[in-house]
Amino acid sequence: MSEAAKERPLTGDLRPDGAALSLKEYEAAGGYSAIRTALGKMSPAGVTELVKTANLRGRGGAGFPTGVKWALVPMGPDAPRPKYLVVNADEMEPGTFKDRLLLEGNPHQLIEGVILAAFAIQAETSYIFLRGEYTVAEERILRAIDEARAAGYLGENILGSGFTLHLYLHMSIGRYICGEETALLNALEGKRATPRTKPPFPQISGLWGKPTIVNNVETLSNLPHIVNRGVEWFKGLSRTPNGGTKLFGVSGKVKRPGLWELPLGTTIREILDLAGGMRDGHTLRAIIPGGASTDFVGPEHLDVQMDFDTVGKVGSRMGTGTMIVLDDKTCPVGMVHNLIQFFAQESCGWCTPCRDGLPWIQKVMAAIENGEGRPEDLDMLRGHTKSLGMGLTFCALAPGAMAPLGSALVRFKDEFDRHIRDKRCAWR
């Protein structure tokens, strides 16, 4: 492991030219040593306990403890077979572009993480469910799978351990809803990509009715480093009880939009500083901290730590850790309208609140933007943020869409009122 990789294990060994690490380059950096340790010296339960103790939380947005999730899978000789491990690489959240870096730059790191997770739950088959537009990642993952299989890291009796894993790449149909784990499983089965009723949860009845774990790309990419370096090292990377580092991104009118691997608990201010601050002539107005389905926070929250617990205390979520910055020259009403358009278009149509509610909200938002809004429209929008809330829909798509809208109606109330009073958008 290089010196950079000791502090930035996910990205420290990436090539500066953006090309993917070859098998030889990955092995030279310590790659595939973790599966030699796990398959040769550890039990499946031991790997699960290690990940649980490291406090690795899911990096897909929800932040659920990874080891706890694995522990829900039935184990032992009487457990249902086969079991499946599915990689959620369907990265379609607006503002989010973190997994692409790992998929394109170091696919072997992901593959090793897949092997470790599959060993922990004793899965015989694994699928990488990849966003359809990620064609560069597709090419590089397929090459890495072939390399790993030829080297004996995939297939029958891996490294003589008796453990077998077959790994396949599946290209997504290209819908946002496929990022919801049960809709992803339906799509993988060749069905319409709609969410499933829970319970049963995928850990008990997932892909083809068998025990299944669905984990995010960034989550799985941490596993080789936890096995190689240990729990205390992994916890020491973070400024909070949440273990490890995090890929944080910034988009919007900043000087250097980009992506950085930083300790969990890095503040919003520090991340914006890495992005060079606001462009000349622009002032920070608000931030969506974790992808499009999180609530706005304001300049007063710049010293808030980005981790799974602290951001929630100020009324938002860390989500994917990829910020969208709103400046003083961009209309907040128009920005939220743009997001609502996306969510309305990407609704799978499975449940009534989302299928009918989001297009209606989009029409009302368009009327406000076009100078045709009425004062009572704002009460209607506020009502919808409640009627499309969490627990009232099959999945979190509509509640996620309500997060930026609900917070904007409070934070930018004067802007909504001005649009209706002046019958126009002042930024047009």
Same domain, 386 and 318: no
Same domain, 371 and 255: no
Please tell me the predicted confidence (pLDDT) of residue 397.
94
Give the neighbor-by-neighbor strand order of the sheet with 84-89. 166-171, 125-130, 84-89, 212-216
Please tell me the predicted confidence (pLDDT) of residue 210.
98
| Angle made by CA atoms 134, 339, 314, in degrees to the nearest 5 | 105
Same domain, 17 and 131: yes
Q: pLDDT tens-digit profile of 200-210?
A: 999 999 999 99
Of 128, 149, 147, whose CA–CA distance to 26 is shortest? 147
Domain with residue 141: its CATH number is 3.40.50.11540
Please tell me the predicted confidence (pLDDT) of residue 427.
78
What mean pLDDT do residues 402-426 have? 94
Distance CA 55, CA 49 (A): 10
Q: What is the per-residue DSSP string for 30-58?
A: TTTHHHHHHHHH--HHHHHHHHHHTT-B-
Domain with residue 381: its CATH number is 1.20.1440.230
Same domain, 397 and 321: no
| pLDDT higher than 90, residue 63 | no
| pLDDT higher than 70, residue 423 | yes
CA torsion sign for 283, 311, 415, 252 is: positive
* Start-to-end Cα distance in the chain: 52
| pLDDT higher than 60, residue 107 | yes
Question: Which one of 279, 305, 327 terminates a domain?
Answer: 327
Same domain, 118 and 229: yes
Distance CA 315, CA 396 (A): 17
Helix-, strand-, coil-residue percentages of the chain, each rounded to 5: 45, 15, 40
| Angle made by CA atoms 48, 52, 57, in degrees to the nearest 5 | 115
Same domain, 41 and 57: yes
Same domain, 31 and 171: yes
Distance CA 173, CA 136 (A): 16
Domain with residue 318: its CATH number is 3.10.20.600
Please tell me the predicted confidence (pLDDT) of residue 391.
87
Question: Which one of 202, 236, 270 terminates a domain?
Answer: 236
Same domain, 139 and 12: yes
Question: Which one of 276, 308, 327 terminates a domain?
Answer: 327
Same domain, 138 and 171: yes
Please tell me the predicted confidence (pLDDT) of residue 343.
96
As a whole-number percent, the residues of the chain with pLDDT over 70 amount to: 99
| pLDDT higher than 70, residue 1 | no
Distance CA 196, CA 182 (A): 6
Same domain, 172 and 54: yes
Of 179, 95, 94, 99, whose CA–CA distance to 136 is shortest? 99
Domain containing residue 414: 332-422
Residue 428 resides in a domain? no
Which residue do the tokens 């799509």 mark?
A: 187
Average pLDDT, the chain: 95
How many independent structural domains does the chain possess?
A: 3
Same domain, 151 and 231: yes
Cis peptide leading into residue 199 (ω within 30°)? yes
Strand partners, 261: 247
| pLDDT higher than 80, residue 4 | no
**pTM of the prediction?**
0.95
Please tell me the predicted confidence (pLDDT) of residue 409.
97
Q: pLDDT tens-digit profile of 323-359?
A: 999 999 999 999 999 999 999 999 999 999 999 999 9
Please report, as a single letter, which amino acid is at residue 16: P
Same domain, 66 and 210: yes
Please tell me the predicted confidence (pLDDT) of residue 3.
66
How many H-runs (helices) and E-runs (strands) does the chain carry?
Answer: 18, 8
Residue 46 resides in a domain? yes
Report the range of poorest mean pLDDT among 85-94, 218-227, 230-239, 387-396: 387-396
Please tell me the predicted confidence (pLDDT) of residue 251.
97
Please tell me the predicted confidence (pLDDT) of residue 426.
81
Q: Kindly state the helix (H) or strand (E) to which residue 228 belongs, with its residue range.
A: helix 223-229
